[in-house]
Structure 1
Amino acid sequence: MKNNLCFLDLFAGAGGLSEGFIQAGFSPVAHVEADQAACFTLRTRMAYHWLKSAGRESVYADYLNSNTSRDDLYATVPEEIEKSVINKEIAEDSLKEIFGTIDMLLKGKKLDLIIGGPPCQAYSLVGRSRAINGMVGDKRNYLYVYYAEFLKRYKPAYFVFENVTGLLSAKNSRGKSYFEKMRKLFLECGYETEYRVLSAENYGVLQTRKRIILVGRKGNKTGFYPEPDMWQPKVTVGEVFSDLPVITAGEGAATPCRMKAYKRSWLYEAGIRNDALPVTWHQARPNNKQDLEIYRRVVDLWDKKKKRLEYDDLPERLKTHTNRTSFVDRFKVVAADLSASHTVVAHLSKDGHYYIHPDINQNRSITPREAARLQTFPDDYYFENVKPIPGRTAAFRQIGNAVPVLLARKIAEKLREVWI
């Protein structure tokens, strides 16, 4: 097997899938992503990996400590590192330019692997329930066609395509399965495909989060699926948050916080805690009177029945959202004794209130860093805004949209084992 397997990440988001593959020893050639804030996050992360490989992590620490600017950080790494994050929507009129940039970055090398999955809204059950036409005809339904164009051009040995489980039931206006149309197209491109529905809590992640992971292999061989090794450690939310400082609603900051001692092992085994670098984004949203009244009801229901409150069960005076048909479990308890939390959602800053139960001694909503830990992002992962000014909304959206890093790493580790 080649030692330096290189990959391309399409629809990369903030890089959860990519980070897992990097941790497993794969090397990124480029990331393609339409969201500008996520692209800044990716550039910052790629800068970190380059600086780490060069033995210059102190430069990155200076940035996290706000001693240098984002532009200063980017100026310390080769220009091609910054260029490797391609801020483009993947569409017919952008393919030529995207291909040109990737070709330049490859410098004649063979691309071994493509990873990534199109935005999930058009396939998700929630997304379809919110749309008047069930998202039939939504252009995002057809992004897999462009994914196939990358397979045709670069002919990698494998590809890893991820998406929500709603893809299995999504159909077009003629009742045809999008998933089966995808697999047929990938076969026409020369790839056999096999898939599994993997649930993150079986791989060390404290979330009940399911994803379709489809793997394609060039040629006609079957029976190649890289079954990731399960890992179900005995760890709870209380332990995962135990070394973060106690803060109340409205407290904390995007800048580094003073950590408490951590004497256990899971945060290290999961690749989350890094004692050499500052920990950022431990910042709680403020609570208003309505939040606090709802939280009291949420906690009371949890303590008595271990149930999460549904939005329509609230009195009318406490309902401020017009959407009553989806995201009905907006208010979620995060209790210390839980071994698996509810899925961390992309709309955390708007619709999702993850309430820290009083048994963790903090009467407030979850912070971006806590959400990132539930997604198994390393503590040294910094989530950017478009402007170099921290913004919780951008951070939460990126964290919630991501594939849990540890799940990605488990897939990548097994893929390396079975590589051609």
Structure 2
Amino acid sequence: MPQKRIKTLSLFSGAGGLDIGFHAAGFDILGCVEIEPGYAASIERNKGPGRLFGPKLNVHCQDIRTFDPTPYVGVGIECVIGGPPCQTFSAAGRRSGGVLGTIDPRGRLFESYCRILKAISPAVFVFENVYGLPGANDGEPWREICNAFSRLGYKLRAEVIDSADYGVPQHRERLIIVGYRDRALNYEFPLPTHGPDSMNGPALVSIYDAIKDLQDPDEPSHEFDGLYGHLLPLVPEGLNYSFFTREMGYPKPYFAWRSKFHDFLYKVDRNSPSRTIKAQPGKFTGPFHWKNRHFTVPELKRLQSFPDEYELVGKFGKVVEQIGNSVPPRLAQVIAHSVREQLLRPSKKLDFALRPPGFTSTFRQRQRERTNHFKDVAKREIAERFANVTHLDQPRENSKEQFFAVYEGFFDKQILASRPRPRAAKRCYKVVDERHDQHIDLTIDPLSVKAKRQIEIKISGLSKYLLHIESLTCKATMLDHEDIFRIWDLIEDSLTKDSQFFTLIDIYGHYANRGDTVKVSTRITGGKKTSLEKAIEFFGSSENCGQFLSEPDFSAAMGCDHKEVRSLTFRLREMRWDVRLPETHATIRDERMLCTYPFPLLSDKAQLERRRSA
């Protein structure tokens, strides 16, 4: 006689990834609570006769904080599943300016989870989140969340697991918490079903195995457009932008080490699982198909282990977002089976073997091994491609070049060989670029007698990335502070001119990942410095960038009143300095600030307009 299905309430349901897995394992999802209308619409699309979910499923498109669980009280709910949004604890959040954890309202959503648990009192709950939650903010949010669950009478088991170990063709680490009321029971996580940690199970599911029937054998390799698009075909499978760095042995680098995130230009190794699929990838963010294109929606669904017939509602970007934010249904199904068989419908015969005492997962060790493997792949590929190359460029002879730069605004620029006529709406500069040995002397002067202020910018440590260039000194005069952006724009031109680097950030390195190889200093002279000029000098030093700074420390360094700090930083942002505050970035807390780079953001695509908090 078939067992009675387990009545379940789903919170933070997303597009239904967790629900699909639990439904397949014998759980009856009675209700889903999801705030995003597009996600809720996907769940609605998949309920009804002949659909995955039955017609009686109720989809509540609303904020969890206003959700009333009363209709689900006393109806036999045995299990609650779901995990709150993870941005406040994620690695991406740490990179963008810190982790708020439970200080952010999103980090307090576990309280609504607890409120609903208290009202319904299910025998079991399953809570999932990012793997970094236990370590975020020295573990304080983790302890607070666990204590909140424990006060409700739940015994907890928690584990960080890699989805690839459970048959998902994607490495995706998630934290799973299983809470249960019956303290006489013991819950153990299931042993991996695939790979070296399994009990003689099959190998990890490769990308090709997952999507081979969706492939056209006659599909040609694609050409990818954009600033970095031409590099994608050159990336070997399994590697990313780091293939083009000096550290990997690339003779003429395109990027500094750790100047981008690991998904940048990441092309999958078709014979292995993919790296984690992102919810909101940029144009050059992988995973990329080995034919040098983005994956299609049907392919991404397979990589996330969604059933082919499961419909996701929305345009391409919104569908990708739903897939990237989902728990892989295959992983959810394995967890659901283990919860059912150990806690809710105890069975001596288990569908999935349990982890034995003392079991330790090796997925982190294997991650390091994969890294070393692909370093070897890169070295072999580079040795083969450049086997007959003894040098790519002769050192440039000492030279002196003079030209004129004409700007209208920040981004409209012309380079002229001869002196232009004065034009009221435009700013004109005489530029002298002099090179000797491994040094560049750059002189920049506006074509105006009104220029009084001088700025000197020194950059060193360039030779690790730039061939034959170790340092640059720029001496410039300024009409006003807007000139600083254009001076840095011309510095970028000078440094990238004889290299394969595209931008100054490619050379300097991403602020969250870089070492201290390239150093920058800034000095302004020509009279008494204003507070703004002191701030430009301060953040124009690499020593003061890429790290958090308290407002009192900044005001002391500037010699300005504490009340002046906010106005100063917003003036810097107007000049395109990426100075981040709690008002501009929700992940910054405790009245701190962060300046990402010792120069303004030079790309017109860089957005500095962020909504200030109320």
Taking structure 1 as the reference length, the TM-score comes to: 0.70
Residue of structure 1 equivalent to 2:114 = 148
Matched, 1:109 2:103: no
Secondary structure class of the residue paired with 1:177: helix
The alpha carbon displacement at 1:353 in A equals: 2.9
AA matched with 2:241:
L
The alpha carbon displacement at 1:349 in A equals: 5.9
1:149–1:136: structure 2 CA closer, same or farther, 3 Å change rule?
A: closer
Aligned partners of 1:193 and 1:214 also within 8 Å: yes
1:178–1:325: structure 2 CA closer, same or farther, 3 Å change rule?
A: farther
Matched, 1:392 2:316: yes
2: CA distance, partners of 1:311 / 1:118: 36
Secondary structure class of the residue paired with 1:202: helix
Residue of structure 2 equivalent to 1:215 = 178
The alpha carbon displacement at 1:397 in A equals: 0.3
1:170–1:370: structure 2 CA closer, same or farther, 3 Å change rule?
A: same
The alpha carbon displacement at 1:51 in A equals: 2.2
- The superposition leaves residues 365-415 of structure 1 with CA deviations (integer Å, 9 ceiling, x where unpaired) of 211221111111011111102xxxxx1100000001111111110111111
1:192–1:182: structure 2 CA closer, same or farther, 3 Å change rule?
A: same
Aligned partners of 2:40 and 2:61 also within 8 Å: yes
Residue of structure 2 equivalent to 1:354 = 287
2: CA distance, partners of 1:248 / 1:313: 33
Higher relative contact order (CA 8 A, sep 6+): 1
1:196–1:136: structure 2 CA closer, same or farther, 3 Å change rule?
A: closer
- The superposition leaves residues 29-55 of structure 1 with CA deviations (integer Å, 9 ceiling, x where unpaired) of 1111111111011111223xx42489x
Residue of structure 1 equivalent to 2:63 = 89
Residue of structure 2 equivalent to 1:6 = 7
1: CA distance, partners of 2:312 / 2:223: 20
Aligned partners of 1:119 and 1:140 also within 8 Å: yes
1: CA distance, partners of 2:329 / 2:215: 24
AA matched with 1:33:
E
- The superposition leaves residues 173-199 of structure 1 with CA deviations (integer Å, 9 ceiling, x where unpaired) of xx6611111111111111111111111
Residue of structure 2 equivalent to 1:411 = 335
Residue of structure 2 equivalent to 1:189 = 152
Secondary structure class of the residue paired with 2:288: strand
Residue of structure 2 equivalent to 1:378 = 307
AA matched with 2:136:
A
The alpha carbon displacement at 1:356 in A equals: 1.5
Residue from 131, 138, 147 that aligns with 2:104: 138
Secondary structure class of the residue paired with 1:178: helix
Residue of structure 2 equivalent to 1:365 = 294
Matched, 1:344 2:268: no
Residue from 324, 333, 344 that aligns with 2:267: 333
1:221–1:349: structure 2 CA closer, same or farther, 3 Å change rule?
A: farther
Give the 5 Å matches for 1:25-104.
Answer: 25-47=26-48, 50-52=49-51, 78=55, 80-81=56-57, 84-91=58-65, 94-96=66-68, 99-100=69-70, 103=71
The alpha carbon displacement at 1:343 in A equals: 1.0
- The superposition leaves residues 311-343 of structure 1 with CA deviations (integer Å, 9 ceiling, x where unpaired) of 99599xx99xxxx977442222123322x2111
The alpha carbon displacement at 1:141 in A equals: 1.1
- The superposition leaves residues 146-203 of structure 1 with CA deviations (integer Å, 9 ceiling, x where unpaired) of 11011100000100001111101113xxx66111111111111111111111111111
1: CA distance, partners of 2:281 / 2:99: 25
2: CA distance, partners of 1:182 / 1:292: 44
Aligned partners of 1:129 and 1:325 also within 8 Å: no
The alpha carbon displacement at 1:298 in A equals: 2.4
1: CA distance, partners of 2:152 / 2:282: 40
1:392–1:209: structure 2 CA closer, same or farther, 3 Å change rule?
A: same
Secondary structure class of the residue paired with 1:12: coil
Taking structure 2 as the reference length, the TM-score comes to: 0.49
AA matched with 1:36:
P
Secondary structure class of the residue paired with 1:332: coil
1:132–1:151: structure 2 CA closer, same or farther, 3 Å change rule?
A: closer
Residue from 222, 225, 233 that aligns with 1:296: 233
Which structure features the higher share of helix residues? 1
Q: How many residues align?
A: 330
Residue of structure 2 equivalent to 1:244 = 214
Residue of structure 2 equivalent to 1:282 = none
Residue of structure 1 equivalent to 2:393 = none
2: CA distance, partners of 1:133 / 1:181: 15
1:326–1:166: structure 2 CA closer, same or farther, 3 Å change rule?
A: farther
1:222–1:419: structure 2 CA closer, same or farther, 3 Å change rule?
A: closer
Residue of structure 1 equivalent to 2:403 = none
The alpha carbon displacement at 1:132 in A equals: 5.4
AA matched with 1:411:
I
AA matched with 2:64:
I
Residue of structure 1 equivalent to 2:87 = 121
1: CA distance, partners of 2:124 / 2:153: 11
The alpha carbon displacement at 1:419 in A equals: 2.5
2: CA distance, partners of 1:43 / 1:227: 31
2: CA distance, partners of 1:351 / 1:189: 46
Aligned partners of 1:126 and 1:327 also within 8 Å: no
**Larger Cα Rg: Structure 1 or Structure 2?**
2
Q: Please, what is the CA RMSD of the aligned residues?
A: 3.3
Q: Gapped runs of 5+ residues in structure 1?
A: 55-76, 252-284, 386-390
1:107–1:148: structure 2 CA closer, same or farther, 3 Å change rule?
A: closer
The alpha carbon displacement at 1:108 in A equals: 4.8
The alpha carbon displacement at 1:129 in A equals: 2.2
Residue of structure 2 equivalent to 1:308 = 240
Secondary structure class of the residue paired with 2:323: helix
1: CA distance, partners of 2:102 / 2:80: 27
Aligned partners of 2:100 and 2:107 also within 8 Å: no
AA matched with 2:81:
I
Aligned partners of 1:312 and 1:328 also within 8 Å: no
Give the 5 Å matches for 1:263-278.
Answer: none
Aligned partners of 1:197 and 1:210 also within 8 Å: yes
Aligned partners of 1:124 and 1:164 also within 8 Å: yes
Which structure features the higher share of strand residues? 2
Aligned partners of 2:275 and 2:287 also within 8 Å: no
Q: Gapped runs of 5+ residues in structure 2?
A: 196-201, 345-614
Secondary structure class of the residue paired with 1:143: helix
Deviates more, 1:232-241 or 1:194-203: 232-241
Secondary structure class of the residue paired with 2:231: helix
